[in-house]
Every structure is written in C-alpha cells, then in structure tokens.
C-alpha cells in the first residue's frame, strides 16, 4: 500500500486528483468506481476545475458508484444520486448514460448491479473510510467475499450521517445498497482519500493492523495497487 501524507484536505484533494487524472487520461473508456461523502468533494472540485481550464474530457468515461441509501428517492437531495450530479456529473462532459448509481432494496437489485459490473472492469475505485473502518457501506463484520448487497447501517454510521439529515438521526435511512468488499477488491487500482483526526485510528488499523473483518478497510493490505492519500491529522497515529 502506498501512503501519501499531505498537510491538509486541499493538498490531499490535489494529490488524489493527480492519481485520478493519470488514470482518466490513460486510455479511452476508463471505468471509475466513485464514492460520496465529504472526503472526495475536494477531489471532484479539482476534476471540475481541470475540465474547465484544461479541457480534460469525460465523454468516454464510465462510472459506477459504491452505494446508495435504501428508502429514499433519487430526487431526494440527500440521495447519493443527487450528490453525484451536484458535486461532479453536472459539471463535466460525462454522458449521463455512462453514470451508474446503485438503486433498490432487493436481492435482484443487488444481483442486477453486480451483473453490470461483471461486464466491465473498474480501472480505479475511489474510496473514503468510515471511523469504524467501513468502506462503501461494508460495516465491521462484513465477509470479505461479499458482493453487492443490502446492509443495515450501524449506529455509529447513522450518527455520523445525521449531519446531512438536519442532525436528526431518525431521518437517516437505516439501510443501504452497497458494492461488497469482493466487488471493491476486483478493481485494478484503489485510491482512498482520508482526512481529519477522527479517522486516525481507522487509518492506523488499515495500514498497520491485522487484516480482519473487524476493520473492513484492512482488506486493502491484500490488494496489489492501493494509494492511500491522507492528511496529517488522519496520519497522526501511523508509526
């Protein structure tokens, strides 16, 4: 695992953007796995700025998002579908038909998304990490071979996400559809962005801890091509 320590969130976003741009411009028809949340927003801003200023094109790029809440409509402002439109897709020249955000609540919905993913091969999977080490919505205890599935969100994730739902935990959906760890591990390259002191323990366990389902992101130690871009606060417990 390559670990890049940056001074702050902006530098983290810029460094992650450099990795992203290299992949995006490497060949036509690149397939990206994308994430939502606070961590990648700065990276998405860099991609938008670069598209506007340097004309980097996303016309042929295909994207698959990691996850989506169950039980809220795509038009809901808090849906990950809306998040992706607002934070990236509406500001670059990507073909909306080439963007995919999982949706649904049934086994068939999960199998359908996984079938689509089987037809392509993700060149770069972007990830954030939860305080408890979750990747996508794969919470501690998720088997490493799980593919796209429906999950019950843990209390800590519901609490962490309440900030997007008027700080009201009751409004936070209780389930999500997510790529599994098995799905994520199939991607050719992984780029993880992490910032803030509240992630420091998860970062340490991911990089230095044992590979265990108790810390889902630790599985990345088994992936051949991972770049972890962290700010100093998130890296503070690394030895």
Interface residues with ligand F6R (CB under 6 A)?
35-39, 66-67, 128-130, 134-137
Which residue in the list 134, 138, 146, 231 is annotated as catalytic?
A: 134
Which residue in the list 139, 146, 149, 161 is annotated as catalytic?
A: 139
- Indicate the residue among 29 and 141 with the shorter CB distance to ligand F6R: 141
- Residue number of the CB closest to ligand F6R reads 128
- Indicate the residue among 57 and 140 with the shorter CB distance to ligand F6R: 140
Exposure b/e, 148-168, CB count within 10 A at least 16 = b: bbbbebbeebbebbeebbeee
CB of 128 to ligand F6R, least distance (A): 3
CB of 137 to ligand F6R, least distance (A): 6
- Indicate the residue among 40 and 51 with the shorter CB distance to ligand F6R: 40
CB of 92 to ligand F6R, least distance (A): 18
Listed in sequence order, the residues at least 6 apart from 119 whose beta carbon sits closer than 8 Å to its beta carbon are none
Give the β-pairing of 2-6 and 226-231. Answer: parallel
- Indicate the residue among 136 and 182 with the shorter CB distance to ligand F6R: 136
134 is catalytic: yes
Which residue in the list 65, 87, 132, 138 is annotated as catalytic?
A: 132
**Is 2 in contact with 226 (CB distance < 8 Å)?**
yes
139 is catalytic: yes
- Indicate the residue among 30 and 191 with the shorter CB distance to ligand F6R: 191
CB of 194 to ligand F6R, least distance (A): 8
209 to 61, 74, 143, 202, 236: CA distances (angstroms): 35, 37, 17, 9, 15
Which residue in the list 65, 67, 87, 100 is annotated as catalytic?
A: 67
CB of 216 to ligand F6R, least distance (A): 9
Enzyme catalytic residues: 67, 132, 134, 139
């Amino acid at each position: 695992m390559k670990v890049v320590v940056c001074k702050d969130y902006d530098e983290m976003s810029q460094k992650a953007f450099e990795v992203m741009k290299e992949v995006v411009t490497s060949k036509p028809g690149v397939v990206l796995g994308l994430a939502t949340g606070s961590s990648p927003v700065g990276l998405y801003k860099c991609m938008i700025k670069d598209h506007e200023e340097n004309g980097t094109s996303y016309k042929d790029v295909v994207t698959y998002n990691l996850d989506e809440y169950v039980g809220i409509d795509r038009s809901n402002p808090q849906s990950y579908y809306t998040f992706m439109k607002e934070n990236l897709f509406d500001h670059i020249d990507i073909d909306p038909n080439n963007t995919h955000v999982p949706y649904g609540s049934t086994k068939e919905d999960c199998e359908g998304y996984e079938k689509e993913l089987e037809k392509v091969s993700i060149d770069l999977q972007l990830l954030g990490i939860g305080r408890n080490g979750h990747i996508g919505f794969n919470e501690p205890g998720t088997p490493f071979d799980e593919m796209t599935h429906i999950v019950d969100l843990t209390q800590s994730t519901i609490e962490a996400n309440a900030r997007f739902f008027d700080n009201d935990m009751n409004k936070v959906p209780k389930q999500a559809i997510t790529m599994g760890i098995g799905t994520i591990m199939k991607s050719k390259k992984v780029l993880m962005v992490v910032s803030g002191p509240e992630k420091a323990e998860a970062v340490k366990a991911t990089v230095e801890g044992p590979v265990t389902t108790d810390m889902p992101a630790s599985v990345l130690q088994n992936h051949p091509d991972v770049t972890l871009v962290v700010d100093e606060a998130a890296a503070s417990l690394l030895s």
